[in-house]
Amino acid sequence: MQKVEDKIYYVGVNDREKHLFENLWPLPHGVSYNSYLILDDKTALVDTVDICYSDRFLQQVEILLDGRKLDYLIINHMEPDHSGSIRLLKQKYPDVILVGTPKAFDMINGFFGAAIADNKMEVKDGHKLSLGEHQLTFYTAPMVHWPEVMFTYDETVKLLFSADAFGTFGTIDGGVTDEQIDTELHMQEMYRYYSNIVGKYGNPVQKALSKLASIEVKTICSTHGPIWKKRMEEAVSIYDRLSRYEAEEGVVIAYGSMYGNTEQMAEAIAEGCVAGGIHKVILHSVSKSHQSYILSDIFRYKGLILGSPTYSNVLYPGVESLLSKIVVREIRNRYLGLFGSFTWAGAAARHLQTFSENSKMELISNALEIKQSLSQGSYAECVALGKRMAECIKG
Q: What residues make contact with ligand FEO under the rule CB under 6 A? A: 77, 79, 81-82, 145, 164, 223-224
Residue 109 Cβ vs ligand FEO, minimum distance, rounded to whole Å: 19
Q: Give pairs for 232-238: CB < 8 Å, separation 24+.
A: 232/178, 234/187, 235/166, 235/168, 235/187, 235/190, 236/166, 236/209, 238/187, 238/190, 238/191, 238/194
State which residue, 98 or 197, has the beta carbon closest to ligand FEO.
197
Side-chain-side CA neighbours of 138 within 13 Å: the count stands at: 23
State which residue, 192 or 351, has the beta carbon closest to ligand FEO.
192
Q: At what angle do helices 291-300 and 317-328 cross, to 10 degrees?
A: 50
Number of residue whose CB is nearest ligand FEO? 79
* CA 395/CA 390 separation, integer angstroms: 8
Residue type, 337: G
Q: How does strand 248-255 pair with strand 25-26? A: unpaired
Residue 31 Cβ vs ligand FEO, minimum distance, rounded to whole Å: 8
CB neighbour burial string for 365-380, b if at least 16 within 10 angstroms, e if fewer? eebbbbeeebeeebbe
* CA 269/CA 254 separation, integer angstroms: 11
State which residue, 198 or 265, has the beta carbon closest to ligand FEO.
198
State which residue, 227 or 370, has the beta carbon closest to ligand FEO.
227
* CA 352/CA 78 separation, integer angstroms: 38
Residue 54 Cβ vs ligand FEO, minimum distance, rounded to whole Å: 16
Residue 34 Cβ vs ligand FEO, minimum distance, rounded to whole Å: 9
| Nearest C-alpha neighbor of 360 from the set 319, 395, 332 | 332
State which residue, 21 or 105, has the beta carbon closest to ligand FEO.
21
Residue 292 Cβ vs ligand FEO, minimum distance, rounded to whole Å: 15
State which residue, 78 or 247, has the beta carbon closest to ligand FEO.
78
State which residue, 82 or 351, has the beta carbon closest to ligand FEO.
82
CB neighbour burial string for 253-263, b if at least 16 within 10 angstroms, e if fewer? bbbbbeeebbb
Residue 23 Cβ vs ligand FEO, minimum distance, rounded to whole Å: 13
Residue type, 61: V
Residue 35 Cβ vs ligand FEO, minimum distance, rounded to whole Å: 12
